Structure 1
């Protein structure tokens, strides 16, 4: 026969109150059979038994059962619950454990909510899986991950700024986080658990340990902030003006930045006070060490998590300046090389460069006319450009080089809308004006900086050939355009661009392999970083 569940509380002045199993069931909301089972497995013990063998439980037992129920609802197994409860059985201790369990439940609910909210930002199952794993970490697990990360990335390097920042990344979410803080916390977990940040942080920390000043750190830090603002502003002005970083036009921008950097504390090389190969090389070394996108993102996320404004990203400006430094390793170096190259006065183009220009303009014009607004959003082999952007650029190139031939800079900028309401008409107009300017008497022999006029026309021929190929590929047309001009262009392009850095921010991606027997224009496009379709 089972235990009686009808006898109530037993109490007198000399004993603490106790309850039978039925009363305990009502107090805890647990079924009687569950209480019996949990008693049998040692989760909670009755404080006494009656003469008839019925179990009696006291207030501490009830509190223990309530905590066990909470832990069970959190998904813990009975073994885990028993381990959690095997501590001093005083009511304050059990209550404290209950608080800890509730806090853990709140933390898990908050992170689960964050995961669900962040699902909309994840486009791959792998990214979502990693995010979910890091979100489910307990605070202790997250701290352990940070300690492992510290040991692997910093080791014994003396870089307290880095170490303090990494420790801060192990912090839990604020009690009432904003959406941005939640996203930052999740992304930090992804970064730290992933495999890209560690080597990048190690490289940055090693450079900082080797070059960091030990005196006047606060002053040096503020000076670095101001210097960064200066050079990024100058670079962004150059980008907005359409200045190509691996061209001679970038050299004055580089010179201005070097002039601001040389007297600053950022210049850690003693005695280095003049612009030249050494100065530009040292600045490039510093920039390369600092140009770690994952490390930059790490510090931005820490700012967001701490409720501070995140500094703007420097990736685009850093890529531009690094490319400009590589292409212009000394003042005037790129211009001098091109000047020596351009002193060759021969014209390798079939029937002359002017005839070649007219032919390529006509061919590209036919392609332009086949495009319609329905094609505008289609991506092209020219990275980052859609068909619409490419059409706009084709108009701009004609406008740019034609204006230079006229001796006046073009009106407007490269980011303006050059298509108007009729892209084909816009191209025809710009191409016609450019060709008219090129046909002026003496234009081919006139000097344009280090280049004769013939090279100005040649540049437009190359631009139209390559971007015509981009357009043909994007629209699905025959890409074997003007093979005689393509064969002529490849050695010309190699001669001009072979020494340029193929890095982010530069004009061209690294050369791509092209099969033997492919169209001549495929070889030109592949050399300039395009991947010809199979």
Structure 2
């Protein structure tokens, strides 16, 4: 049996440290001496070293206690700590890029950029962007379809952002936090129930058409006829309960050209998601524009 001082000496820690862990139940003494002093058995040294190792990894005392009580708790605790460390690192990377953005801008730009940066957390949340799309999408859209659209439309903040990406995301956040067109104020024609469209059918088809168009955008091919365009037109035709005919394509091209646009959203989204080196990742907005240009080119060609 060791006294508290002897255990502290063998472990290379202070008596205060041993007493701290003992008082919290992490290092129970084996017995008490006749004078009421703590005595520790031979397993206490290994247990104390385990405690120190876990604490040196930054684990809080309650989590250390969980691991000591249950061997199978180690994996869960480590996984939780890794998630927490990842979140802290993401916040630090965001703060670093935001500070660089402020440092490198012109003095007259700092007030606006500071206001933009101050409106988002570090790392930023995409909740405001998701709310924007829930207001923008047609009412009573099935939850499955709405979730798929939002997942495609809402960009995730980069893990290691550049200052330019921080600026783009904060501007995007400011854009969606302003007045959002809704109802009969600027909604696309296909959102309006009196126009006869079935939004659930439309958005299911548009997601497929955008996926087909994405490889052409990555390859920087000019808009052209093909499977992607046919899928795009078919989505509108099926949702309207009509056939894909040349006359329908002419009407659709005119309708889409007259629909309101949120180009600022898609431009900023592209800036957020574009890697520091390499081509930009196509957004749904870019795919829509490419398909609309392909439709216009086809309608113009067949009209000649």
Normalised by the length of structure 1, the TM-score is 0.34
- Could you tell me how far apart the structure 1 residues matched to 2:78 and 2:216 are? 52
Indicate whether 1:45 and 2:27 are aligned. yes
* Corresponding residue for residue 295 of structure 2: none
Q: Deviations 1:77-112 (Å, cap 9, x if unpaired)?
A: xxxx34434525245634763564366335524541
Deviation at 1:196, TM superposition (A): 1.0
Distance 1:91 1:293, change over 3 A: same
78, 97, 101: which one aligns with 1:121: 101
Asked if the contact 2:153/2:284 (under 8 Å) is kept, the reply is no
Q: Structure 1 CA distance, aligned partners of 2:48 and 2:155?
A: 40
In 2: Cα distance, 1:156 partner to 1:118 partner? 38
Deviations 1:318-365 (A, max 9, x none): 8xx9xxxxxxxxxxxxxxxxxxxxxxxxxxxxxxxxxxxxxxxxxxxx
Give the deviation of 1:54 after TM superposition.
2.4
| 3-state secondary structure, aligned to 1:97 | helix
CA shift, 1:273, in A, is 4.2
Match of 1:467 in 2: none
2:296 corresponds in structure 1 to none
Query: Equivalents in 2 of 1:98, 1:313: separation in Å?
Result: 38
Residue 21 of structure 1 corresponds to: 8
C-alpha contact (below 8 Å) 1:188/1:298 kept by paired residues: yes
Query: For the residues of structure 1 that align with 2:75 and 2:253, how far apart are their CA atoms?
Result: 65
How many residue pairs end up in the alignment? 247
Conserved 8 A contact 1:119-1:128: no
- The residue number in structure 1 matching 2:19 is 36
CA contact (8 A) 1:191 1:197 kept: no
CA contact (8 A) 2:270 2:283 kept: no
> Within 2, Cα distance between the matches of 1:276 and 1:105?
53
**Cα pair 2:4 2:18 within 8 Å, conserved:** no
Does the C-alpha gap of structure 1 residues 55 and 165 become closer, same or farther in structure 2, counting only changes over 3 Å? farther
Once the 2 structures are TM-superposed, how far is the Cα of residue 212 of structure 1 from its aligned partner? 1.9
Q: 2:58 aligns with which of 64, 71, 83?
A: 71
Separation in 2, partners of 1:217, 1:54: 69
2:260 to 283, 288, 292: 288
Q: 1:151 to 1:83 in 2, by over 3 A?
A: farther
Find the partner of 2:66 among 83, 87, 91.
Answer: 87
What is the rounded CA distance, in whole Å, between the counterparts of 1:112 and 1:293 in structure 2?
Answer: 28
Secondary structure at the residue paired with 2:260?
Answer: helix
| 2: CA distance, partners of 1:161 / 1:109 | 29
After superposition, residues 346-425 of structure 1 pair within 5 angstroms as none
Counterpart Cα distance in 2 of 1:47 and 1:147: 56
CA distance in 2, matches of 1:43, 1:195: 53
Q: Secondary structure at the match of 1:46?
A: coil
> Aligned Cα RMSD in Å?
5.7
Gaps of 5+ in 1: 8-19, 73-80, 234-259, 322-534
Q: Any idea what SS the aligned residue of 2:84 has? A: helix
Instruction: Note if contact 2:32-2:38 (Cα within 8 Å) is conserved in structure 1.
Output: yes
Q: For residues 147 and 277 of structure 1, do their structure 2 counterparts lie closer, same or farther at Cα, with a shift above 3 Å needed? A: closer
Q: Which has the higher contact order (CA 8 A, sep 6+)?
A: 2
- Structure with bigger helix share is 2
Matched with 1:222 is: 212
Unmatched segments (≥5 aa) in structure 2: 103-109, 192-197, 293-304
Please state how far the C-alpha of 1:281 moved relative to its aligned partner.
4.7
Instruction: Tell me the residue number matched to 2:38.
Output: 54
Does the aligned pair in 2 maintain the 1:220–1:266 contact within 8 Å? no
Displacement after TM superposition at 1:282 (Å): 0.8
Alignment partner for residue 122 of structure 2, among 111, 128, 134?
A: 134
Q: Is the 8 A contact 1:303 1:309 kept in 2?
A: yes
Q: Residue by residue, what CA displacement relative to the aligned partner does 1:156-189 show, whole Å, maximum 9, x if unpaired?
A: 442453244368838x83xxx5x55x975x6797
CA 297–193 in structure 1, closer or farther in 2 if over 3 Å, else same: closer
The 3 A distance-change label for structure 1 pair 129 and 101 is same
Kindly indicate whether residue 282 of structure 2 is the aligned counterpart of residue 311 of structure 1. yes
Shift of the 200–115 alpha-carbon distance from structure 1 to 2, 3 Å rule, reads farther
Larger radius of gyration: 1
